[in-house]
Structure 1
Amino acid sequence: MPADSRPMPGQPVDDKVSVIMPVFNEAAGIEAALRALQPLREAGHEVIVVDGDSSDATVERAQGLADRTLAGERGRARQMNAGAAVARHPLLLFLHADTQLPPTALEDARHALATGYRWGRFDVRIEPADGILLLVAACMNLRSRLTGVATGDQAIFVTRQAFAAVGGYPELPLMEDLALSDRLKSIGPPACLRTRVLTSARRWQRHGRLRTILIMWRLRLAYRLGADPARLARDYYQ
């Protein structure tokens, strides 16, 4: 820890977490997602919802269930950067609205950061699971361990100091999680926690399991080969 960030003698160390949730048209599930986080708020942690110009009742339904609800332009990277900019605590955790944290998630993340890591992610399980989605999740977790690259579904956590040092999320329309991982790897490897977060299978259900897998492989490969993220976003969201 740099000398200028050490607490004064007798000063309590703030190891609380700011959970930042970017949302867009999540009215159907936002209340359930935020109610699941109320025990964290009661324990002194912070929940920040950053809306991306939703056209439904997402913002109204989030009111009262988060410490702060921000409105902004659509773009997950911009939204998460906006949430980080107003976060009160030194530890940040970025959580998708369709991903659920297990009870020990914040304690496990805090422990990892206290033992020398500056950032990390959780293993993921896709729910409801079937044979294919169990395999998909296992491959995601293994690939992440081998490459040091995390996806947003894995609930990336990071010290605010490290997040600021790398300039936050690159404001890309897609693949912002891969780009952030690349930046953070320059200052240290991730803590790859075996604690599992649960993420919704709705993307695979909506577009079909095999088709979604192929689309994601193609987009990731194209990104690594230098394709324009704006074009990839158009292909992904069409």
Structure 2
Amino acid sequence: MSAAPLAVVMPCFNEAARLPLLLADLAAAPAGLLAELVVVDGGSRDGTPQLARLGGAQVIHSQASRGWQLQRGVAATTAPWLLLLHVDARLQPGWPEALQRAMAAPAAAWAFDLAVQGPGLPLRLLEFAVRLRSQLRQLPYGDQGLLLPRALLERAGGIPPLPLMEDLLLIQRLQRLAPIRRLGCSLQVNGRRWQRQGVLATTWRNARLRQAWRRGMSPQQLADRYYGSAGAKPLISPECG
């Protein structure tokens, strides 16, 4: 099939060490797959915007809030399909074919399987648990990437402009409208958070944050709790677990 035009939107903040790797992955896409490549920078001071431009991306400047950045990036594109990615991710072999198969299928949202960089049984168990959650509950989180038709995102009300939990709220809205399926291809994320804090401790903390959100705590309060102070690390969210 002829691939549907695709816009890739990536929020970032001080990711000069990792963004070029993801841009290199995207540069390997076959002709006709990627129509637009947008990086939405939240005030980086490490040269991230300059590197993004060198990698062929359009750069948009925004306040450092991932939900707001994603919303700004989507608004700057026109392609009928959207791929939302975190910039500390690496696309794995076979990703273009997986996206093309998904775009040829009946309307749905799609997420990658999570692969966490680093050795050790705890990380492999984490990957397995995320895969089960995505398969059985249709509940991927933002660091698994999200591929979806623009029309479906618009029906869901767009990206929630929240400082935290924007991915979970969006998935909950999408679940009411269409299936959320696995792409059958992995997306590798940086394992520094789990290695530094431990898989169990990180998973427990993230679960408590999600529970507080479901009980009605405001996204800003959650962000303050998670980051320690408002906006301290605006692009790391409590995912996976």
Instruction: Bin the TM-score by the shorter chain.
Output: 0.7 to 0.9
Structure 1 residues 67 and 55, CA, compared in 2 at 3 Å: closer, same or farther? closer
Give CA deviations for 1:149-176 in whole Å, capped at 9, x if unaligned: 2211111111011111212111111111
Aligned to 1:205: 195
Amino acid at match of 1:131: L
User: What's the offset of the Cα at 1:119?
Assistant: 1.0
- Conserved? CA contact 1:96–1:153, under 8 Å: yes
Measure, in 2, the Cα distance between the counterparts of 1:172 and 1:227.
13
Measure, in 2, the Cα distance between the counterparts of 1:76 and 1:153.
12
Identity of aligned residues (%): 35
Measure, in 1, the Cα distance between the counterparts of 2:106 and 2:32.
24
Aligned to 2:124: 134
Q: 1:103 is paired with a residue of what secondary structure?
A: coil
Q: 1:34 aligns with which of 5, 11, 23?
A: 23
Amino acid at match of 1:121: A
Aligned to 1:100: 90
In the superposition, the TM-score normalised over structure 1's length comes to: 0.88
Structure 1 stretches lacking a partner, 5+ long: 1-11
Measure, in 2, the Cα distance between the counterparts of 1:226 and 1:140.
25
Give CA deviations for 1:137-160 in whole Å, capped at 9, x if unaligned: 111121122222221111111101
Q: 2:107 is paired with a residue of what secondary structure?
A: coil
Q: How does 1:185-200 map to 2 (within 5 A)?
A: 185-200=175-190
Q: How does 1:1-238 map to 2 (within 5 A)?
A: 15-40=4-29, 43-45=32-34, 46-238=36-228
User: What's the offset of the Cα at 1:43?
Assistant: 4.6
Structure 2 stretches lacking a partner, 5+ long: 229-241
Measure, in 1, the Cα distance between the counterparts of 2:28 and 2:150.
22
Q: Which has the larger radius of gyration?
A: 1
Q: 2:54 is paired with a residue of what secondary structure?
A: coil
Measure, in 2, the Cα distance between the counterparts of 1:236 and 1:153.
17
CA-atom RMSD, angstroms? 1.9
Tell me how many residue pairs correspond in the alignment.
227
Give CA deviations for 1:30-62 in whole Å, capped at 9, x if unaligned: 222212221227555132111011222111221
Amino acid at match of 2:29: L
Runs of 4+ in 1 over 4 A off after TM superposition: 41-44
Q: 1:93 is paired with a residue of what secondary structure?
A: strand
Q: 2:8 is paired with a residue of what secondary structure?
A: strand
